[in-house]
């Protein structure tokens, strides 16, 4: 399969803009779709996304538009919208997308309404469309600034995964191809929930030892659910699993960890989730991940306590006590 010369990016937020820059730096002809006319004007006229990536100079070759049809008249599409919006946006794309054009999911989450992974959501909204996933340890500001980043690109077919990796690779962005779509999706979704837990640990000043233990035991949970759903262990231990987990659980630059820090400091959920606050994917994913684990007969104690805290049915102190007083067991 040949490389993709024209790439459309759906989503004008920080991650969508960063990935549009990646494609432009890889020598692709890039069109970025955003709903906000001011964002589009800023990208086209001032070469800056002031709202989402202030201070970062954008490639002059990067073109933005409010016309979705224009952004979909391409060889491949990066779908960079929140996980809970994937179905609605994909359905809007359906009458505009040419047959056979691959769509790359760039969100990290599980659909709350159905409990489905995003590849199934996209397959239902865009039947017959080749589907891929891009995920891994990456902050939008780092990627947009040209700092070294490595990610995973998954597709059911090796040729598609390899072609997408070639089409986005540049001196500062290195994609690794795989066919393990499920593993990449599970890693990206669960790490957000676990990052909230790590944020709570930091917010409560429980120490680096507790944070490291939580990352390790959280990775064990990620591995159990992934294995139950058919993911490959090497994927879960790779960039889109362990790599993304370590990054997201180690820096308040992560929205999910920052959200957890505020909870740990005593912040009120009603205020932290009020309209206008930054979207936190882990907030929506936590209860769905727990339900998915129950369906597959998998125990996810950390995710369960996070979901309980976010639902308001358990205090942070009670959650910590619950985790620390679970029955003792062997590690393997």
Q: Where are the domains of the chain?
A: 6-179, 183-324
Judging by DSSP bridges, how do beta strands 103-105 and 76-79 pair with one another? parallel
- Report the CATH number of the 183-324 domain: 1.10.1040.10
Edge to edge, the sheet with strand 63-65 lists 63-65, 29-33, 6-10, 76-79, 103-105, 131-135, 149-155, 173-178
Contact 235, 178 (CB under 8 A): yes
**Is the torsion defined by CA of 283, 285, 286, 287 positive or negative?**
positive
Which two three-digit tokens encode residue 332?
Answer: 């393997």
Q: What is the pLDDT of residue 331?
A: 84
Q: In this model, does residue 135 exceed pLDDT 70? A: yes
Mapping DSSP to helix (H, G, I), strand (E, B) and coil, where does residue 24 land?
helix
- Report the CATH number of the 6-179 domain: 3.40.50.720
Among 4, 13, 3, 131, which residue's Cα sits nearest to residue 64? 13
pLDDT in tens, 52-78: 999 999 998 899 999 999 999 999 999
**Is the torsion defined by CA of 300, 303, 309, 310 positive or negative?**
negative
Q: What is the pLDDT of residue 279?
A: 84
pLDDT in tens, 172-215: 999 999 999 999 999 999 999 999 999 999 999 999 999 999 99
CB-based burial label for 105 (10 Å; 0-12, 13-18, 19+): buried
Regarding pTM above 0.85, the answer is: yes
Reported residue count of the chain is: 332
Mapping DSSP to helix (H, G, I), strand (E, B) and coil, where does residue 153 land?
strand
Q: Which residues are catalytic?
A: 191
Contact 308, 196 (CB under 8 A): no
């Amino acid at each position: 399969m040949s490389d993709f010369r024209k790439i459309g990016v759906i989503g004008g937020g920080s991650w969508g803009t960063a990935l549009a820059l990646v494609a432009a730096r890889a020598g692709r002809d890039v069109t970025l779709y955003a709903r906000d006319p001011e964002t589009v004007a800023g990208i086209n006229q001032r070469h800056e996304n002031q709202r989402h990536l202030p201070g970062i100079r954008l490639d002059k070759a990067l073109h933005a538009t409010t016309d979705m049809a224009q952004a979909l008249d391409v060889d491949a599409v990066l779908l960079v919208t929140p996980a809970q919006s994937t179905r609605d946006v994909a359905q809007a794309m359906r009458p505009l997308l040419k047959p056979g054009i691959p769509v790359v999911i760039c969100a990290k989450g599980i659909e709350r309404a159905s409990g489905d992974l995003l590849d199934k959501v996209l397959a239902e909204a865009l039947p017959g469309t080749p589907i891929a996933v891009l995920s891994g340890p990456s902050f939008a500001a780092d990627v947009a600034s040209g700092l070294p980043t490595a990610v995973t690109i998954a597709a059911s077919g090796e040729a598609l995964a390899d072609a997408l990796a070639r089409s986005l690779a540049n001196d500062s962005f290195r994609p690794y191809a795989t066919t393990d779509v499920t593993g990449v999706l599970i890693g990206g979704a669960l790490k957000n929930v676990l990052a909230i837990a790590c944020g709570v640990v930091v917010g409560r000043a429980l120490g680096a030892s507790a944070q490291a233990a939580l990352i390790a035991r959280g990775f064990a949970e990620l591995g159990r659910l992934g294995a139950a759903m058919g993911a490959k262990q090497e994927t879960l231990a790779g960039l889109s699993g362990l790599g993304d987990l370590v990054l997201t659980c180690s820096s308040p630059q992560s929205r999910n960890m920052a959200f957890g820090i505020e909870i740990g400091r005593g912040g009120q959920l009603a205020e932290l989730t009020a309209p206008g606050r930054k979207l936190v994917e882990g907030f929506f994913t936590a209860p769905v991940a727990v339900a998915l684990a129950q369906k597959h007969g998998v125990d996810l104690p950390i995710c369960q306590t996070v979901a309980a805290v976010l639902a308001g049915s358990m205090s942070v102190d009670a959650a910590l006590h619950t985790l620390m007083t679970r029955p003792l067991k062997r590690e393997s």
